[in-house]
């Protein structure tokens, strides 16, 4: 299911959730972007489907963006970092934002990185149950500590009740691209993240992505704990990147070329 705003203005923010979540996790952030005149689309990925892979997730994102032009800022939270480069390899995207991202590695799976690298912090899976090829949160206190450490209790309660199972299958497959798409990107790292290792994230942002780096205080879910601060970051990124997109459109018009779709 996609939540779409039809009036197409300025930048389109496409918000891609991570494991266990859904389009609902962006509900506090979305109006903050819209009130500045931007469009927003969020989608539910088939994370509980044990036959779906990250290419399937990218299908869902691309379908939600069907009909929108190249002025798209694509945000991937946590496991969503494995989907957004696949989308950028298929269609025009202006900028990628890896938010507390489990950034993929060429020829490696997410599981490879969990086992063989310092990507995740010790105890990151406390409170998870693994059954039927899916992981499910069964411990509310564990979810609070690891996902929502700086969120108020009503937010934690509401979020926990909406968490879904996450299939293991996509995380067992090697990243399907031979190189990252040639799209500018930013890595937003939360300094008190208790899931993804912030030190690993900083190193990978430089070495693997060549990304700009922005640090926010707080834990793994800033769309809940500090939506205004996250909105400010995304709005600044849109403003900083937009002059290039506008200049490109002007040049194409001057040359008698159609807009990039």
Give the CATH number of domain 2-254; options: 3.30.70.1560, 3.40.50.1820, 1.20.120.80, 3.50.50.60.
3.40.50.1820
Rounded Cα distance, 53 and 32, in Å: 31
In the structure, what pLDDT confidence band is assigned to residue 246 with cuts at 50, 70 and 90?
very low
User: pLDDT tens digits for 97-123?
Assistant: 999 999 999 999 999 999 988 999 999
pLDDT over 70 at 257, yes or no = no
The proportion of the chain whose per-residue pLDDT surpasses 90, expressed as a percent, equals: 85
Phi/psi region, residue 176 (left: phi>0; alpha: psi -120 to 50; beta: rest), is alpha
Phi and psi dihedrals of 104, rounded to 5?
A: -70, 160
* Closest by Cα among 117, 27, 115, 120 to 79: 120
Pairing status of strand 134-137 against strand 39-43: unpaired
pTM assigned to the model: 0.89
Rounded Cα distance, 2 and 22, in Å: 10
Q: Mind giving me the DSSP string for 202-234?
A: HHHIIIII--EEEEESS-S-HHHH-HHHHHHHH
pLDDT over 80 at 258, yes or no = no
Domain residue spans in the chain? 2-254
Determine the pLDDT at residue 109. Answer: 98
Mean pLDDT of the chain: 91
Determine the pLDDT at residue 242. Answer: 61
pLDDT over 80 at 6, yes or no = no
Determine the pLDDT at residue 116. Answer: 82
Rounded Cα distance, 39 and 189, in Å: 24
């Amino acid at each position: 299911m996609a939540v779409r705003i039809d009036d197409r203005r300025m930048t389109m923010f496409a918000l891609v959730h991570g494991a266990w979540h859904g389009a609902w996790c962006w509900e506090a952030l979305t109006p903050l972007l819209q009130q500045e005149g931007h469009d927003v689309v969020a989608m539910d990925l088939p994370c509980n489907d044990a036959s779906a892979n990250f290419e399937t997730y990218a299908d869902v994102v691309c379908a939600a963006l069907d009909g929108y032009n190249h002025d798209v800022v694509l945000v991937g939270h946590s496991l969503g970092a494995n989907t957004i480069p696949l989308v950028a390899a298929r269609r025009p995207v202006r900028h990628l934002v890896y938010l507390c991202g489990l950034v993929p590695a060429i020829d490696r799976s997410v599981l490879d990185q969990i086992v063989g690298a310092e990507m995740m912090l010790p105890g990151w899976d406390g409170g998870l149950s693994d059954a039927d090829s899916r992981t499910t949160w069964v411990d509310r206190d564990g979810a609070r500590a690891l996902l929502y450490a700086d969120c108020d209790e009503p937010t934690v309660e509401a979020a926990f009740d909406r968490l879904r199972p996450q299939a293991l299958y996509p995380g067992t497959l090697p990243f399907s691209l031979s190189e990252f798409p040639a799209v500018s990107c930013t890595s937003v790292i939360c300094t008190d993240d208790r899931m993804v290792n912030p030190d690993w994230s900083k190193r990978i942002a430089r070495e693997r992505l060549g990304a700009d780096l922005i640090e926010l205080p707080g834990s793994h879910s800033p769309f809940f704990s500090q939506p205004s601060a996250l909105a400010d970051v995304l709005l600044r990124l849109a403003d900083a990147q937009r002059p290039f997109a506008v200049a490109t459109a002007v040049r194409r018009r001057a040359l008698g070329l159609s807009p990039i779709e």
